[in-house]
Structure 1
Amino acid sequence: MPDTHDRTTWAVLGASGFVGSVIAEYARAHDIHVLDVVAPRLAAPSTTASSARESAAGARVAEDELVVAFAGARVVVNAAGLATPDSELSPSLVGANSALPLVAFSAARRAGVERFVHLSSAAVQGPVAVLDESTETMPFSPYSQSKAWGEHLLVEADDAGSQDDVTELVVVRATSVQGAGRPTTTRLRRLAASSFASVAAPGDAPTPVTSVAALAEFVTAVGAFEGRVPVVVLQPWEGLTVTSVLEAAGRRSPRRLPRALCRFVVGSARVVSRLLGGRLAGPVRRVELMWFGQGQTSGWADSVGIRPRPVVADLLRGSDA
């Protein structure tokens, strides 16, 4: 059967969103024809991984519509989902972050797409000391749990595929993505400029704070890469430390706190959060990242020479106006 796919045509699911719109714009600027695809709204019957799988299996109409939308595309980028780190675990969160990726992957397979790039989050690995590209996850919040389920269901479907399936699955784990106008970036600037801005001494730990521009560049490089890509790839580090990110965002040096004190505070806060049903997991984790940062492996991108421009420091020094 002849190949009817245009190698310069991609489909971006969720192209109107914060990340999806930047990816679509960057791809177009590099001579890629982009099909903007609206993501269907899915809700799982309950808040479990099995309910997400059931919801995906029952979303036949949505899948059929995506097959038509993906027709002729060589690459599909799934940038859809709910980026709500502090939300409760809900059917809509599970539907968007766990079930929808599986529906989109199935549609991409049926459309004969060559590569399906799913945007996940490094939050699925939780408080590990060093982020890596393994399929192991340790979610710590409802949001990270929903993203972890999305990854697991995709890998499960990929492993269960037949030899006739031509679609290559790639999960891109985005780190702490910042961008002009994004609420998380505005909050980071306010925190960095406040008296609460602090780091655990000596303050030289790496932090996975990155820019949406670098993410768009990386995703485009992944989609266009000639050759096999690992199932899980990590967004490259942009070189900031816990001190330099606060200095860039707040234009002032943060306080350096005793490391032992910071460990005690984080540990105590985790105990309180567990007693409250995990409701403080997100805020506690953000404080931990501010103080201690998080390392990451150099990963696949570095091994093949993909190094997006490090622009997050300049972004944080700017304004949203």
Structure 2
Amino acid sequence: MAELQGRALPVTAVSAPRLRCEASTAQEIAAEAVAVASSPQEPSFATLRRVFDGADVVINAAGLATPGDGESPELTGANALLPAMVVLAARAAGVRRVVHLSSASVQGHTASIDESPTRAPFSAYSRSKARGEEVLEILAGDTVGGAVVTVRATSVQGPTRPTTRSLVRIAASPLASVASPGTAQTPVSSINALAWFVVETGLHGTAVPALVLQPWEGLNVTEVLSAAGGRNPLRLPAWLCRSILAAGYGISKLAGERLQGPLRRVELMWFGQAQSPGWAERAGLVPEPALRDVLRQARGDED
């Protein structure tokens, strides 16, 4: 909203309906969305269809950003059924393009995240986001010209986000550490850069691929922790970090994946994750890096 308003572009905020979905596969979720959209008495779809009327671009930034949660109808409803409802309502309203915000977590522990349809979710949250992507692929299979675009957001930080405040506290503590040599690329990014990129994607005048990745902001794991904590992190032997993570994921599996979210954050802190250049780089749509400033601002707010 702030990015659009800063460009003096007309923008309307829409409160997303709270949906529940018991379905477990993308095919079932897509079928449920189509059934709901076909019912003239369904208030949530009718409301979306009405408020989308006359819009050029619809950006779906709604969902449940709760990496630590377990499987639930609410999580599936917010992250998989809602995107489908948005796309169907936008299509009925004649909207030119829908931009849906997904998460790079759908690719799990892969060495390098990219714009491929390959997915390896590792938690309830990442599975719900992966299903959201799959549902849109089913519904958008017959569209052309970038009518439905999924943006895979990376590890997005903002001064007021709880995950960022947690990162700042850890970075300023003796727990701040990286796996040696501490130069691994990290997908940690800023809300500023994401907002800019999403708006550019929505406004782009020519066709956009169906799946695009938020560009890298250029920092490695040591630089992120230094900016967030104001101190250099400890360097730990890589073998020790891998051993701790392997044990942790084993315990988490036995505990019903309850530790997946925290363990993944530790893994990213230590080892980061590379990302392959994609459409943004080819199209020249790489935002100005803002991550250092965002982390320093969050650190100042904590102080």
Correspondent of 2:154 among 136, 159, 175: 175
Name 1:7's counterpart in structure 2: none
- Give yes or no for the alignment of 1:36 onto 2:13: yes
Name 1:320's counterpart in structure 2: 301
Identity within the alignment, %: 51
| CA offset digits 1:52-76 (Å, max 9, x no partner) | 3354234342222211111111111
Conservation of the 8 A alpha-carbon contact between 1:124 and 1:145: yes
Conservation of the 8 A alpha-carbon contact between 2:52 and 2:58: yes
Name 2:79's counterpart in structure 1: 97
How far apart, CA to CA, are the structure 2 residues paired with 1:184 and 1:48?
29
Q: CA RMSD in A?
A: 1.6
Q: Write the letter of the residue equivalent to 1:320.
A: D
* Deviation for aligned residue 1:105: 0.3
Name 2:281's counterpart in structure 1: 302
Name 2:102's counterpart in structure 1: 120
Name 1:152's counterpart in structure 2: 134
Correspondent of 2:3 among 9, 15, 26: 26
SS at 1:316 equivalent: helix
| CA offset digits 1:30-51 (Å, max 9, x no partner) | 1321121111111013555455
Name 1:10's counterpart in structure 2: none
* Deviation for aligned residue 1:174: 0.5
How far apart, CA to CA, are the structure 1 residues paired with 2:62 and 2:28?
19
Q: Which has the higher strand share?
A: 1
SS at 1:210 equivalent: strand
Deviates most, 253-262 or 267-276: 267-276
How far apart, CA to CA, are the structure 2 residues paired with 1:48 and 1:156?
12
Unmatched runs of 5 consecutive residues or more in structure 2: none
How far apart, CA to CA, are the structure 2 residues paired with 1:174 and 1:108?
22
How far apart, CA to CA, are the structure 2 residues paired with 1:268 and 1:55?
39
Task: Flag the 1:167–1:221 CA change in 2: closer, same or farther, 3 A.
Answer: closer
Correspondent of 2:225 among 241, 246, 261: 246
Name 2:259's counterpart in structure 1: 280
How far apart, CA to CA, are the structure 1 residues paired with 2:98 and 2:23?
27
* Deviation for aligned residue 1:272: 1.5
Name 1:52's counterpart in structure 2: 29
* Deviation for aligned residue 1:108: 0.7
- Give yes or no for the alignment of 1:136 onto 2:118: yes
How far apart, CA to CA, are the structure 2 residues paired with 1:206 and 1:79?
26
* Deviation for aligned residue 1:197: 0.6
Correspondent of 1:83 among 65, 89, 95: 65
Q: Write the letter of the residue equivalent to 2:18.
A: R
**Number of aligned pairs?**
295
Query: Which structure has the higher relative contact order (CA within 8 Å, separation 6+)?
Result: 2
Which aligned pairs between 1:263-274 and structure 2 lie closer than 5 A? 263-274=242-253
